[in-house]
Structure formats: structure tokens, C-alpha cells
Amino acid sequence: MPHIPTSDASRPAWHACVLTLFPEMFPGPLGTSLAGQALNAKIWSLDAIQIRDFGIGKHAQVDDTPTGGGAGMVLRADVLGPAIDHAKTLNPAAPLVYMSPRGKPLTQELARAIASGPGITILCGRFEGIDERVIEHYAMTEISIGDYVLSGGELAGMVLLDSVIRLLPGVIGAAESLTHESFEQGLLEYPHYTKPRVWQGRPTPDILLSGDHKKIAQWRQQQSEAITAARRPDLLGKTTPPDAKVPKKP
């Protein structure tokens, strides 16, 4: 039988556990760049648990046909239950999340709230989804990364993890840069420029070369407001939404 991770007191404070039929997909992109460096530096840790290790019978069955009829297959409750119970032993305080297109939208506020906690346990569905009783029994929080459907929850889970890991202390050297990003102040981010001063006939705005930091800050604020008004007017005047709270563990 494949190795099933067990609790380890030496793990970093922030621990991610992913339940999936494709553990080989992890860490994937999370093993490179800032997230990968932070993983190697033990700022966070990751366990990817193979759901099939908890499958039923000699063929380790994990799914069955939908009750009441319909296309596709559904992941079974009597398989996911033991898998989730095991994951909870790895980080009992971590909230349980199911990546789902019907979930609450992933926002910067929600990512920051999760980053402030002990970690997260993510269930990645496949096929038509999972037995609804699993979500109800564990009071799982469903999170969506957009109004579209993926083949499974793994890529969505990676997006969620990346959005959170970069907020962990020590991951990004200049923490100040985080405060000016899109959504942090309720606005989209202002434009950025660097050398050369003129490219393809397009000059860098003179204000950025003025050395007047107060005027530069005002210009950037105006740019953020204008871009937000044009592209995401729904964000203007928006306060921190209720979904910014850390998902509760069952």
C-alpha cells in the first residue's frame, strides 16, 4: 500500500493537506518560485493524500453512480470520510475546504484570513463531485476560484494555496509590496513602469520621474481609482465581505 502521511511534530506552523486522486500533481507549481523556496525553507509544509488508499475492496473503489440517475460518477461518502478523518489527525485545527464552482468566491480577504490560521485541509473532487453528506457532516466550506468548471479540484486548490502562501510571514521579502496590490485597499493596482524611459514610442509618465513622492502617491491613487471604475466598478465602496472569515473547522 502507498505511504499514508502521519502526524509530525516537527512540521512548520502552517500546514496544508490535500486530499486528491492525483497526489503526483503536488506540489507542482507550488514547488517553484516563492512558494517553492518557502516550502524548502520550512515556512509551510504539504501532505498530498491519495484518496484511493481509502478505497473499498480489492479494486479500491472510490466512486459510484449518482443516486436517482444521471451522468457521471460521484465520490463515495464511505471513502471520503476515512480519508478526511485521517487528514484531520495531521492538523486538527485546520479548516476543511472543498473546491467547488458553487462555493463562495476566493477573495484576497479570504486568502489573508486563511494565512493567519494554522493551515488548511483541501478536498479536491473529481467526476460529478462528492456525496453531499460529506460536506454536511464535516461542515466543509466550499470555495470557488471562478464561474467556470474544471476537470477536478487540484488546479483550483493550487490557486488557493498560492494566494495564501505568498502572504505567510517570510515568503515575500518586501512585505510592504503586499499592501499596494490589487484588492488590498479595495481597488485594482496602479500601473507599473521601469526602464527604458521610452519604449516603442511610449514614454514613462513624467510624474514618476519627478522625485516628488507625494505627487507620485496621489497619481497612483488616481490611477487605481480610474482603473477600478472602468474594469471593476463593483469594488468601489466595497467593505470587507463576510467571507473574509477563516472557514470554521468542524
pLDDT in tens, 42-68: 999 999 999 999 999 999 999 999 999
Instruction: Provide the b/e sequence for 63-72 (b: ≥16 CB within 10 Å).
Output: bbeeeeeeee
Q: Could you say which of 140, 156, 173 is where a domain stops?
A: 173
Helix (H) or strand (E) holding 33, with range, is helix 33-40
User: Within this chain, do residues 126 and 195 fall inside the same structural domain, yes or no?
Assistant: no
- Residue 130 and residue 110 share a domain: yes
User: Do 89 and 165 have their domain in common?
Assistant: yes
- Per residue in 75-110, pLDDT (tens digit) is 999 999 999 999 999 999 999 999 999 999 999 999
Sheet holding 44-50, edge to edge: 44-50, 14-20, 119-123, 96-105, 141-144
- 72 pLDDT above the threshold of 90: yes
CB-CB contact of 182 with 37 (8 Å): no
Q: Is the pLDDT of residue 242 over 50?
A: no
Segment 155-181, tens digit of pLDDT = 999 999 999 999 999 998 755 555 555
Q: What is the extent of the structural domain holding 223?
A: 179-233
Give the pLDDT confidence of 179-202 residue by residue, as tens digits. 555 456 788 999 999 999 999 999
Q: Which pLDDT score, from 0 to 100, does residue 1 have?
A: 37
In a domain, 250, yes or no: no
- Report the CATH number at residue 225: 1.10.1270.20
**Model confidence over 127-157: pLDDT tens digits?**
999 999 999 999 999 999 999 999 999 999 9
pLDDT in tens, 13-48: 899 999 999 999 999 999 999 999 999 999 999 999
97 shares its domain with 127: yes
pLDDT band at 225 (very low <50, low <70, confident <90, very high): very high
Q: Are residues 201 and 116 in the same domain?
A: no
DSSP letter (8 states) at residue 127: T
Q: What is the pTM of this model?
A: 0.84
- Within a domain: 238: no
Find out whether 113 and 141 touch, Cβ atoms under 8 Å.
no
* Same domain as 221, residue 100: no
Provide the grid cell at 236: 468601489
Residue 243 C-alpha from the chain's centroid = 14
Domain count, the chain: 2
Same domain? 132 vs 114: yes
Backbone angles phi, psi at 83, to 5 degrees: -65, -45
